[in-house]
Amino acid sequence: MSDIKTVSHRELRNNSAGILRAVAAGESFIVTNHGLAVAVIKPVSVPDYAGLTAQRADRTRSLRELEPAEGRSDETTQQSIDFLRGES
């Protein structure tokens, strides 16, 4: 295993694809936010996640095809956000 590299939150945000390719190739990263370590990104250990499979998102389906949640189609966006936050 290679040495763990450090990456800032901003660098992760701006170069997520490259960092994830490096992780897929076996590298690990410590993510920092304002100089403090907040997370570790490392390759998945197959025994730990044996039940999970990687799947690509179905990009052929349009948002217009999605049905609104039953009984909630007349809500405003703010009401939906408040509900999701548990504030309603």
Of 2, 38, 47, the residue nearest 23 (C-alpha):
2
User: Across all residues in the chain, what is the average pLDDT?
Assistant: 77
Ranges of each domain in the chain: 5-44
CA distances 29 to 6, 8, 32, Å, are 5, 10, 9
5-44 CATH: 3.40.1620.10
What's the pLDDT at 1?
45
Distance of alpha carbon 25 from alpha carbon 43, whole angstroms:
8
Give me the pLDDT at residue 81, please. Answer: 75
How large is the average pLDDT for residues 29-43?
94
Is pLDDT above 80 for 51?
A: no
